Amino acid sequence: MPSPYALLALQADLGNVPAIWLGLVGAVGLLFTFFVVFVVKQYKRCPSNQVLVLYGKVGGNRAAQCIHGGGKFVVPLIQDYTYLTLEPMVIDIPLQGALSLNNIRVNVPSTFTVGISTDPVLMNSAAERLLFLPEAKVKDQAQDIILGQLRLVIATLSIEEINKDREKFMALINTNVTEEINKIGLSLINVNIRDITDESGYIEAIGKRAAAEAINRAKVEVAQQERDGATGQAIADREKTINVAREQASSTEGEKVAEQKRRVAVAALDATAVKGEVESSRDAQIATAQRQAETVAATKEAEQTQRIQVAKAESSAVQGENTSQAEIARSNATLAQVRAEAMQQAKVASARAEEEILKAEREKELARLAKEQLAPQEIEKKRVEVEAEAAAERSRREARGVADAMLARYQAEATGTLQVLESKAEGYRRLVAACAENPQIAPTLLLIEQMPLLVAEQVKAIQNLKIDKITVWEGGRGGPAGGSGATADFLSSLIGSLPAVHELAHQAGIELPAVLGKVREESPATEAAAAKRQKS
């Protein structure tokens, strides 16, 4: 702690400093303090259960920057920030009447737990699609996506697969739902299928059938166990009786065998005693003869051994001489062989060296020929191939263009013909509708419409004929007294041909104009009277 004298000296020194410098130092201190507080305030830290989202100008082509953990300095006026929570959201899916693969509607009430993912890509998706949305809106979007995917999964499975292979069902749900909700930045945490029912009671019937099968199987197994127990007891009783009888027989047999062995042993001992006496006498005689034979044999063997040893010594001497000579010959042969092999190896090495030299010269010559002659030919071949491919491609494109043009022309002609026919059909329909009160007028109008074409075709038939003049002869029949002439006969014949024209039109299904009249239908009596008049 400074002394009172030091404080007095400091006060004296400050009294000598101008007031403007004191004010400047105070202002700098205040600015520095404000800057530190501002920097500390603008540095935002991200809690572990939230995602810090910076938006505004964050660099690159991104609309937002997401940070999980750590912190980030927020630039004033350019950037702003907010938080996205990572807390799980539980969504109830009351799925009712989803159509399965075998067209049976099932009810699958379930609970899905989702949350915003911490994956960088998914965090950015969540920031782009879920920022500032209330939790209820996020749940509604996720619920719609999950409902659609759950219905899609159920539509690909039958009731048996949904009820039995739950692992496959859950795997498909996880795969489809995860892929879709990832598009809005969410990740699937848990799936809980509370129950699976159907409106027709098919699943309940499957359960009852499985229970009945299990009960029947249990009954069968109980009956089989009881059968096996009774069978085992019977087998045990039978084996007990058999074993008792076998042991009793074995006991009796053992007694008989023991008696038999005792008698055989006694007889064997008696025979062994007699045999021993005989063999002892025989062995004594044999031993004496053997000793005599051994003495003679030993004498002869000694003589033989002596002769053999002498012969062996002579043979060994000769064999030694021969062996020495053979070793000398073998050594000479080996030396000659070694010399021959060395010479052969030298010649082979020389030949191989010459062969390698020739191969190298051949490769060099081939490389030179390939460079000087084959390379230009390969280049020319490649150029010809490229030109041929280009010509073929040009021909294909020209043919494709011609075909497209022909197709377009035919399509345009077909469209025009179709429009003309549709227009004519509409005109005919309106004409028939206009002539609804008198249907006979419509064919007459159509015939009149085609009359210029018919006249033109008739004119074409005689247009090349040269007619100077036309003369009508009356034929000299009739006269002023009232007789008929040729013109009257023509009209009479024309009127007489009308019934045949009407008959032909009736057979062809055509109605003639009213100006050509109608043929009156006569009764049989009238026809008979007319025939009688013609006869008279």
Which amino acid would we find at residue 511?
E
Distance from C-alpha of 480 to C-alpha of 482, rounded to nearest angstrom: 5
Average pLDDT for 125-134: 89
pLDDT of residue 90: 94
The yes-or-no verdict on residue 506 having pLDDT over 50 is yes
Establish if 293 belongs to a structural domain.
Answer: no
Q: Is 423 helix (H, G, I), strand (E, B) or coil?
A: helix
Are residue 139 and residue 193 in the same domain, yes or no? yes
What does residue 210 show for φ and ψ, rounded to 5 degrees?
-65, -40
Helix, strand, coil shares of the chain, percent, nearest 5, are 70, 10, 20
In percent, the amount of the chain with pLDDT more than 70 equals: 71
Are residue 96 and residue 155 in the same domain, yes or no? yes
Distance from C-alpha of 149 to C-alpha of 182, rounded to nearest angstrom: 13
Are residue 101 and residue 188 in the same domain, yes or no? yes
Distance from C-alpha of 224 to C-alpha of 218, rounded to nearest angstrom: 10
Tally the domains of the chain. Answer: 3
59, HSE (Cβ side, Cα atoms, 13 Å): 5
Are residue 62 and residue 48 in the same domain, yes or no? yes
The yes-or-no verdict on residue 9 having pLDDT over 50 is no
Here the CATH number for the domain that contains residue 162 is 3.30.479.30
User: 253: which 2 tokens?
Assistant: 């047999």
CB 502 within 8 A of CB 518: yes
Q: How far is CA 19 from the centre of its chain?
A: 88
CB 83 within 8 A of CB 116: no
Residue 159 burial (10 A CB sphere; 0-12, 13-18, 19+): buried
The yes-or-no verdict on residue 296 having pLDDT over 80 is no
Are residue 105 and residue 196 in the same domain, yes or no? yes
Establish if 222 belongs to a structural domain.
Answer: no
Distance from C-alpha of 126 to C-alpha of 67, rounded to nearest angstrom: 12
- Mean pLDDT (the chain) is 76
Q: Which residue has the higher pLDDT, 260 or 222?
A: 222
Are residue 93 and residue 156 in the same domain, yes or no? yes
Q: Which residue has the higher pLDDT, 191 or 325?
A: 191
The yes-or-no verdict on residue 426 having pLDDT over 90 is no
Beta bridge partners of 73: 43
Which residue, of 59, 86, 113, is where some domain finishes? 86
Are residue 64 and residue 102 in the same domain, yes or no? no
Establish if 384 belongs to a structural domain.
Answer: no
Establish if 396 belongs to a structural domain.
Answer: no
Establish if 94 belongs to a structural domain.
Answer: yes
Distance from C-alpha of 479 to C-alpha of 446, rounded to nearest angstrom: 43
CB 152 within 8 A of CB 169: no
pLDDT of residue 466: 62
Distance from C-alpha of 340 to C-alpha of 333, rounded to nearest angstrom: 10
Distance from C-alpha of 255 to C-alpha of 327, rounded to nearest angstrom: 82
**How far lies 11's CA from each of 5, 6, 14, 18, 146, in Å?**
10, 9, 5, 13, 78
Distance from C-alpha of 244 to C-alpha of 501, rounded to nearest angstrom: 127
Are residue 54 and residue 106 in the same domain, yes or no? no
Which band of pLDDT confidence, cut at 50, 70 and 90, is reported for residue 416?
A: confident
Are residue 171 and residue 105 in the same domain, yes or no? yes
What does residue 66 show for φ and ψ, rounded to 5 degrees?
-105, 135
Cβ-based neighbours of 68, under 8 Å, separated by 6 or more:
46, 51, 52, 86, 118, 123
Cβ-based neighbours of 79, under 8 Å, separated by 6 or more:
54, 55, 56, 57, 58
The yes-or-no verdict on residue 469 having pLDDT over 60 is no
Are residue 77 and residue 113 in the same domain, yes or no? no
Are residue 74 and residue 153 in the same domain, yes or no? no
Q: Is 464 helix (H, G, I), strand (E, B) or coil?
A: coil
Q: Which residue, 111, 173, 185, is CA-closest to 148?
A: 173
Establish if 445 belongs to a structural domain.
Answer: no
In percent, the amount of the chain with pLDDT more than 90 equals: 12
Are residue 66 and residue 103 in the same domain, yes or no? no
Q: Is 106 helix (H, G, I), strand (E, B) or coil?
A: strand
Distance from C-alpha of 487 to C-alpha of 474, rounded to nearest angstrom: 7
Give the count of beta carbons closer than 10 Å to the beta carbon of residue 535.
6
pLDDT tens, 32-56? 776 666 666 778 888 888 998 988 8
**Global pTM exceeds 0.75:** no
Residue 123 burial (10 A CB sphere; 0-12, 13-18, 19+): buried
Q: How far is CA 22 from the centre of its chain?
A: 83
Q: Which residue has the higher pLDDT, 492 or 88?
A: 88
Average pLDDT for 343-348: 80
Containing 124, the helix (H) or strand (E) segment is helix 120-129
Which band of pLDDT confidence, cut at 50, 70 and 90, is reported for residue 147?
A: very high
Average pLDDT for 287-314: 70
Q: Is 197 helix (H, G, I), strand (E, B) or coil?
A: strand
Which amino acid would we find at residue 394?
R
Which band of pLDDT confidence, cut at 50, 70 and 90, is reported for residue 388?
A: confident
Where helices occur in 435-497 by DSSP H, the ranges are: 441-462, 486-496
Establish if 257 belongs to a structural domain.
Answer: no
CB 98 within 8 A of CB 176: no
Q: Which residue, 110, 119, 146, 142, is CA-closest to 129?
A: 142
Structural domain including 503 reads 491-518
pLDDT tens, 151-170? 999 999 988 888 888 888 99
Establish if 24 belongs to a structural domain.
Answer: yes
User: 130: which 2 tokens?
Assistant: 């879920």
For the chain, the distance separating the N- and C-terminal CA atoms, rounded to the nearest angstrom, is: 174
CB 123 within 8 A of CB 176: no
Which band of pLDDT confidence, cut at 50, 70 and 90, is reported for residue 6?
A: very low
Cβ-based neighbours of 101, under 8 Å, separated by 6 or more:
155, 156, 157, 158, 161
pLDDT tens, 88-109? 999 999 998 888 888 888 999 9
pLDDT of residue 247: 79
Determine the length of the chain: 536
Q: Which residue, 141, 152, 148, 155, is CA-closest to 91?
A: 141
Q: Write out the DSSP string of 353-389.
A: HHHHHHHHHHHHHHHHHIIIIIHHHHHHHHHHHHHHH
Average pLDDT for 515-520: 64
